């Protein structure tokens, strides 16, 4: 049975911290699912870590759907949340189309979208139609050109706005809220004022759960580690070492070995070769 948004709410109500991770393909999703991670986000961060863009802005809905389908195929238990990319939810009608595709074509169980008070009516419309929505406030990467890459809510007026945003997203019916790059004390204050779970990234330990980007957590995106991330593995190095060994073994005739090859009965081969030799 897949994790539901009700299960996520019950985790929060029991005081169980909620782990969430991004994944973008079948194999990674299968690993995350088997590791017992209850929520997998197909984040539009794939624009950077998978597609090599500078930001999430160029990511299209078709790309999100393509990757989300693979993640859904790789999972049996996790709740799969598909990110709605930039400019795909500018009106309730457009949001219904986009979120509808994410659920119907990609098979996600929920969508995530960025914004507070201003997107609350859009969230309310989706929720009324049976589409679970995860909100996302604080640093919202799709607005990087507007707000810059920086911690949000350090001044009283900004902090007050973020609290208003969080409440608006909750009242619109979102089942959870991502808080990205928000001071820890403010994230905790928001978490204490909400009934729904908060999922932090760069928002301290006082949130109901945490989300991390697959490549940051596993040391795959080797040139850069955001301050808020902790590497639990150094997979870029592990992979590079493995590839160097492979190159060495091929160059030196050490791969493939006999155990990697199939055999033909020598008599069969001799017969084939003699037939060929006689014909030429």
Of 139-178, binders to ligand KIV (CB under 6 A) are 178
* DSSP 8-class letter at 117: G
| Integer Cα distance of 212 and 81 in angstroms | 14
Q: Are 197 and 9 in contact (CB under 8 A)?
A: yes
For the chain, report the end-to-end CA distance as a whole number of angstroms.
Answer: 64
| Integer Cα distance of 35 and 147 in angstroms | 36
The yes or no reply on residue 216 touching ligand KIV (CB under 6 A) is no
Q: Which two tokens stand for residue 132?
A: 């679970």
Q: Is 105 a catalytic residue?
A: no
**Alpha-carbon 186 to chain mean position:** 24
Q: Which two tokens stand for residue 227?
A: 């301050």
| Integer Cα distance of 130 and 5 in angstroms | 12
Residues composing the chain: 280
Quick note: the x/- pattern for ligand KIV over 171-200, rule CB under 6 A, is -------x-x--------------------
Our CB check for ligand KIV shows the closer of 11 and 134 to be: 134
Q: Which residue among 201, 207, 217, 235 contacts ligand KIV (CB under 6 A)? A: 201
State in angstroms the smallest separation of the CB of 79 from ligand KIV. 14
| Integer Cα distance of 106 and 128 in angstroms | 20
**Alpha-carbon 106 to chain mean position:** 14
With contacts defined by CB under 6 A, name the span among 42-50, 62-70, 241-249, 254-262 that binds ligand KIV: 42-50
Our CB check for ligand KIV shows the closer of 33 and 114 to be: 114
| Integer Cα distance of 50 and 214 in angstroms | 10
Our CB check for ligand KIV shows the closer of 40 and 155 to be: 40
Q: Which residue among 32, 80, 168, 211 contacts ligand KIV (CB under 6 A)? A: 211
The yes or no reply on residue 45 touching ligand KIV (CB under 6 A) is yes
| Integer Cα distance of 12 and 195 in angstroms | 9
Quick note: the x/- pattern for ligand KIV over 77-116, rule CB under 6 A, is ------x---------------------------------
* DSSP 8-class letter at 41: E
With contacts defined by CB under 6 A, name the span among 2-10, 41-49, 63-71, 153-161 that binds ligand KIV: 41-49
Our CB check for ligand KIV shows the closer of 71 and 242 to be: 71
With contacts defined by CB under 6 A, name the span among 40-48, 84-92, 145-153, 232-240 that binds ligand KIV: 40-48
Q: Are 20 and 209 in contact (CB under 8 A)?
A: yes
Q: Are 73 and 105 in contact (CB under 8 A)?
A: no
Our CB check for ligand KIV shows the closer of 5 and 178 to be: 178
Q: At what angle do helices 120-128 and 156-171 cross, to 10 degrees?
A: 20
Our CB check for ligand KIV shows the closer of 187 and 213 to be: 213
**The one catalytic residue among 16, 114, 171, 180:** 180
- Residues marked as catalytic: 180
Q: In the complex, which residues of this chain contact ligand KIV (CB under 6 A)? A: 22, 41, 43-45, 83, 136, 178, 180, 201, 211, 213
């Amino acid at each position: 049975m897949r994790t539901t948004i009700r299960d996520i709410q019950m985790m929060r109500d029991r005081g169980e911290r909620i782990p969430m991770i991004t994944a973008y393909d079948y194999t990674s999703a299968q690993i995350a699912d088997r590791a017992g991670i209850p929520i997998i986000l197909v984040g539009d961060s794939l624009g950077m870590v998978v597609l090599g863009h500078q930001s999430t802005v160029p990511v299209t809905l078709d790309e999100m759907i393509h990757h989300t389908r693979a993640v859904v195929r790789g999972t049996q238990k996790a709740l799969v949340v598909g990110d709605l990319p930039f400019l795909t939810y500018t009106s309730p009608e457009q949001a219904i189309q986009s979120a509808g595709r994410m659920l119907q074509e990609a098979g996600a169980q929920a969508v995530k979208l960025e914004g507070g008070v201003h997107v609350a009516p859009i969230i309310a419309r989706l929720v009324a139609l049976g589409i679970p929505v995860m909100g996302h406030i604080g640093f919202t990467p799709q607005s990087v050109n507007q707000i810059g890459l920086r911690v949000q809510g350090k001044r009283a007026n900004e902090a007050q706005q973020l609290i208003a945003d969080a409440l608006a997203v909750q009242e619109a019916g979102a089942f959870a809220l991502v808080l990205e790059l928000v001071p820890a004390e403010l994230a905790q204050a928001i978490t204490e004022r909400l009934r729904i779970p908060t999922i932090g990234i760069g928002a301290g330990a006082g949130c109901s759960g945490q989300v991390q980007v697959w490549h940051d957590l596993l040391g795959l995106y080797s040139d850069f580690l955001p301050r808020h991330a902790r590497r639990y593995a150094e997979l870029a190095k592990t992979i590079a070492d493995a590839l160097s060994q492979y190159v060495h073994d091929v160059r030196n005739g050490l791969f493939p070995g006999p155990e990697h090859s199939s055999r033909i009965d020598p008599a069969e081969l001799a017969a084939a070769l003699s037939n060929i030799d006689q014909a030429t």
